């Protein structure tokens, strides 16, 4: 089974307003609260496509309880490590007809006891075939926490998927995770690599493989996604422009949907990429992950090509 691990979950608050100005009361509307965090979003997407999954994460206070209850209502069970404090609320504001503001809190602090409990959980859970770790590290996390999480999964002979903006990623790919999912910002910030076109994508992906990456799903927002398994590269992009409301969660939906096909059958790359882009396009049209209602329609409108 694929377990997702969210070290720093969040309640996401999506809302809109016409204008943001300093020193005035900004009245907002359309507030939607949802249980989130990157790995939870991956789990919700896997579940949406019928792939069994469970959620691991550090949770605190009433917001942590709200996320756990919300996940369970969606049919995904959670094995929480409970911490002191309050799990963060992240704020996403759509302003006017197109600007987006993302206010992302640092999160509830964790300590060495919580870290140990998480490692023990990974060593103990039933039926672990893959650990997919997504998102930022919470305050208080040891510098080597990600390394220890990866090692614990390895001790269980489980595959590891990494989607993190942590600088540790450059080191961790030496441990040969099954898949990494950087976006363009992470590629630049963590690896100093820029992608503008097929040629620069080819060079960047080759560099990541040299550093140890086995498979790379590189998401580039409106410019689609590249996937490379070290011997071939594919690019996929919607042949239409979605009506963007909020880009939050799109990368997680893309990863979850890609994994929902590719993890079980590595030969179905093109199908996995088409689903991943259809999901990404549908997610940006709603607050949070949305309801995936257009995914089937969008699936046939994705251009997938092998370079």
Ligand X SMILES: O=P(O)(O)OC[C@@]1(O)O[C@H](CO)[C@@H](O)[C@@H]1O
Residues that bind ligand X (CB under 6 A): 8, 10, 12, 36-38, 41, 90, 104, 135-136, 165, 248-249, 251-252
Residue 111: CB partners within 8 Å, gap ≥ 6? 83, 140
Phi, psi of 147 (to 5 degrees): -60, -45
Beta carbon of residue 137, minimum distance to ligand X (angstroms, whole number): 8
Q: Which is nearer to ligand X, 114 or 249 (CB)?
A: 249
Q: How far is the CB of 305 from ligand X (least distance, A)?
A: 27
DSSP 8-state secondary structure symbol assigned to residue 216: E
Cβ nearer to ligand X, comparing 102 with 266 = 102
**Shortest CB 276 distance to ligand X, Å:** 14
In the three-class reduction of DSSP (H, G, I as helix; E, B as strand; rest coil), residue 99 is classed as strand
Is 65 catalytic? The answer is no
- Closer CB to ligand X, residue 10 or residue 60? 10
CB closer to ligand X out of 68 and 304: 68
Position of minimal CB gap to ligand X: 135
Q: CA distances (Å), 99 to each of 80, 214, 222, in order? A: 35, 36, 15
The residue annotated as part of the active site, out of 18, 30, 252, 265, is 252
Q: What CA–CA distance (Å, rounded) separates 68 from 81? A: 11
DSSP 16: E
Shortest distance (Å) from residue 136 CB to ligand X: 4
Phi, psi of 233 (to 5 degrees): -125, 135
What is the rounded distance in angstroms from the CA atom of residue 271 to the CA atom of residue 251? 17
Provide the annotated active-site residues: 252
């Amino acid at each position: 089974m694929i377990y997702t691990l969210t070290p720093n979950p969040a309640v996401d608050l999506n809302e809109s307003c016409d204008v943001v100005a300093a020193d005035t009361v900004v009245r907002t509307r359309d507030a939607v609260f949802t249980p989130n965090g990157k790995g939870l979003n991956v789990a919700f997407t896997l579940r949406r496509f019928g792939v069994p999954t469970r959620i691991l994460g550090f949770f605190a206070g009433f917001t942590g309880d709200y996320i756990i209850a919300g996940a369970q209502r969606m049919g995904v069970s959670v094995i929480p490590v409970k911490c002191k404090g309050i799990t963060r609320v992240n704020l996403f504001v759509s302003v006017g007809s197109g600007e987006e503001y993302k206010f992302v809190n640092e999160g509830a602090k964790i300590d060495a006891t919580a870290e140990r409990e998480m490692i023990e959980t990974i060593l103990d859970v039933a039926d672990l075939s893959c650990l997919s770790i997504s998102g930022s590290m919470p305050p208080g996390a040891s510098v080597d926490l990600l390394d220890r999480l990866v090692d614990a999964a390895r001790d269980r002979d489980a595959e590891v998927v990494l989607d993190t903006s942590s600088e540790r990623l450059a080191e961790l790919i030496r441990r040969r995770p099954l898949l990494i999912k950087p976006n363009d910002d992470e590629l630049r910030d963590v690896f100093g690599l820029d992608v503008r076109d097929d040629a620069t994508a080819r060079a960047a992906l080759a560099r990541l493989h040299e550093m140890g990456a086995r498979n790379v799903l590189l998401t580039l927002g409106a410019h689609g996604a590249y996937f490379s398994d070290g011997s071939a590269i594919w690019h996929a992009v919607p042949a239409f422009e979605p009506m963007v409301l909020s880009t939050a969660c799109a990368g997680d939906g893309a990863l979850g949907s890609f994994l929902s096909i590719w993890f079980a059958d590595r030969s179905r790359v093109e199908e996995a990429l088409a689903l991943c882009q259809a999901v990404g396009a549908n997610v940006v049209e709603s607050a949070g992950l949305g309801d995936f209602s257009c995914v089937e329609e969008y699936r046939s409108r994705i251009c997938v090509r092998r370079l």
